[in-house]
Structures are given as C-alpha cells and as structure tokens.
Amino acid sequence: MPGRPTASIVIPTRARPDYLAVTLASVLPQAALAGAEVVVVADAGDLATGAVAQRHGARIVALAMAGANAKRNAGVAAARSELLVFVDDDVDAPLGWLDSILSGARSVPDRDVFGGPIRARLEGGGPRACGREQAPITTLDMGAKDRDVPFVWGANMAIRRRALRRVGDFDETILVRGDEEEWLRRYRQGGGRIRYLASAGLVHRRSAPDSTVRKLARAAYRHGRAARRYDARKDSAPAIWGELRTLAGCAWHTVHRRCAVGIVMGAHTAGRVHEALTGGRQ
C-alpha cells in the first residue's frame, strides 16, 4: 500500500474546465515532486471537467450541484493526507508554492491553519484603473514576512486535519461570500492561530474574456448580494443609508477619476443595496 501523501490539494470547481486546466498544469507537477495528491471536486455529470482532471492525472470526486463549502467537505472526506491544501479553480501556482506551504507547516507545528499571498492577474488588461483601488477580484497581501494573521482566504489555504476534527466541517449553507471565513472564525474562537506564509503566494487570474468591465461587474453584483447576506448573518450589516452612501461614492470615483474599476465597485455595492432592500427576494 502506498504511503500517505505529504498533502492533499483539494480543488472545488464548477463548469470551468479552461480555468481548471491552467490550475492543474501549475499544481500537478509540484504535487508529483512533493509526493502530494490532487483531488478535484466537480458537479456530477460535468464531463468536460472530468476529462480535464483525468488528462492531468488528478483524482475526481463528483458531487450533486453544491457550493464551494460542500465541495471542500467532500474533498476532505476523499483526501488521504493530514494536511489539506485548498485552492480555487482559477489560480496559477508558481514553482515553489507547494514547497513553501509544506516547509511553513513543518516550521510551526503548533499552528493548524496557513495561507499565503494571492495576487491578481487580469489577462485582458482589465478595466481602466486610476491606481487608487485594489484589483476587482480577491487578493491578499500581509507583507514579506511570515506571521500570525486574523484571516487567510480559501483560494490559498491549508488546514491540518486535526483542526477540522476539532472545529467541524465547513458550513454548507453559506454560499459565495463568507464561506471559509465562518469556519476560520470558529477556529479562532477556540484559540486557534492562523499563520501567513509570505513565500507561498499564487496568482488569482481572470482570462481575457472575463476581464471586461461587463463580466467583472456582473460577478461583483452577485458577490455583493452574497456579502450582504453574510453580513446580515453576522449581525454586522450596515444600515441601508450607509450602503447608498458607498454607492454614491463609487459613482463619484468613476466619473471624477475616470476609473472604470469604479463601475465594478459600484456593481458590488448595488448588489448589497438590492439584497438590503429585498431581504433576499428576487
């Protein structure tokens, strides 16, 4: 019987085989060198994704239509290692990324959760920006040194299995925003500490067709609605006038800075306003 893998890299995905192919091309060679396994969790019946996973040599777990947290839980159940490494299906992991996670985890055996930098790459150039705002997709930069931090993000996160046994599964009722954060809050409430590994960075990418203002704004609107729902769940959602003031600020920014990223920011806030006004009703 083969020995236990050094890590199990779990990749939840949904009908994005082209993105997944880039992710696997960057992750699989590193996994092979390190003696790690790669588990792709996809929707049942998604033949294109299954073909990509098979072509690259990853294990595939099929799950009925479900959110990222349900797929993370399914990946954990199928994984064989004590160290679970979670990445999204739209990342590009540079050489050395996995080694940095493995060495970082070995260096602090009393920490159970780890994460690294997430850098944006809009391959179509993205919307015109004025330089005053962050990229309109998830990023993380906690500096150039390893240290304890409040949070890391699920696009680049590792967890020792013992922490999952202690804290429990990811909450499958939380979709799109707040999914990994809710688990991390439970972990921290129990005294857990999260370690940022500065050298374990990867790239969060958008292809050229998905880097347009229209595509980014549509995604931002959906994420804004989900973010408002999660804030309401935490009893931390701002008053509607606060959301409207932010929306007005985005409009001012777009016009006065001639910044197209302001449109994406405004779409996110518009989603939050819609959610606040409708209470989740369509």
Is residue 137 located within the same domain as residue 179? yes
Q: What is the pLDDT along the chain (282 residues), one digit of tens a residue?
A: 467 999 999 999 999 999 999 999 999 999 999 999 999 999 998 999 999 999 999 999 998 878 999 999 999 999 999 999 999 999 999 999 999 999 999 999 999 999 999 999 999 888 888 877 788 889 999 999 999 999 999 999 999 999 999 999 999 999 888 899 999 999 999 999 999 999 999 999 999 999 999 999 999 999 999 999 999 998 999 999 999 999 999 999 999 988 999 999 999 999 999 999 997 555
Domain total of the chain: 2
Is residue 113 located within the same domain as residue 13? yes
CA 260 to chain centre: 24
Is residue 108 located within the same domain as residue 199? yes
From 169, 187, 206, the end of a domain falls on 206
Token digits for 44?
């049942």
Token digits for 140?
């993380």
From 161, 182, 206, the end of a domain falls on 206
Map residue 149 onto helix, strand or coil. strand
pLDDT of res. 2: 63
CA torsion 233-239-243-249 (nearest 10°) is: -140
* DSSP H helices in 57-117: 68-78, 97-107
Is residue 36 located within the same domain as residue 53? yes
Contact 209, 252 (CB under 8 A): no
DSSP letter at 238 equals P
Kindly state whether residue 3 falls inside one of the protein's structural domains: no
Q: Please enumerate in sequence order all residues whose Cβ is within 8 A of that of 103, keeping only pairs 6 or more positions apart, or say none.
A: none
pLDDT of res. 1: 40
Is residue 83 located within the same domain as residue 219? no
Dihedral over Cα of 236, 220, 118, 87: its sign = positive
pLDDT of res. 134: 80
Map residue 246 onto helix, strand or coil. helix
User: Domain residues for 252?
Assistant: 212-278
From 172, 206, 240, the end of a domain falls on 206
Q: How far apart (Å, rounded) are the C-alpha atoms in residues 12 and 71?
A: 6
Is residue 65 located within the same domain as residue 121? yes
Q: How far apart (Å, rounded) are the C-alpha atoms in residues 276 and 282?
A: 11
Map residue 32 onto helix, strand or coil. helix
Q: How far apart (Å, rounded) are the C-alpha atoms in residues 204 and 173?
A: 25
Using CB atoms within 10 Å of the CB of residue 279, give its burial: 0 to 12 exposed, 13 to 18 middle, 19+ buried: exposed
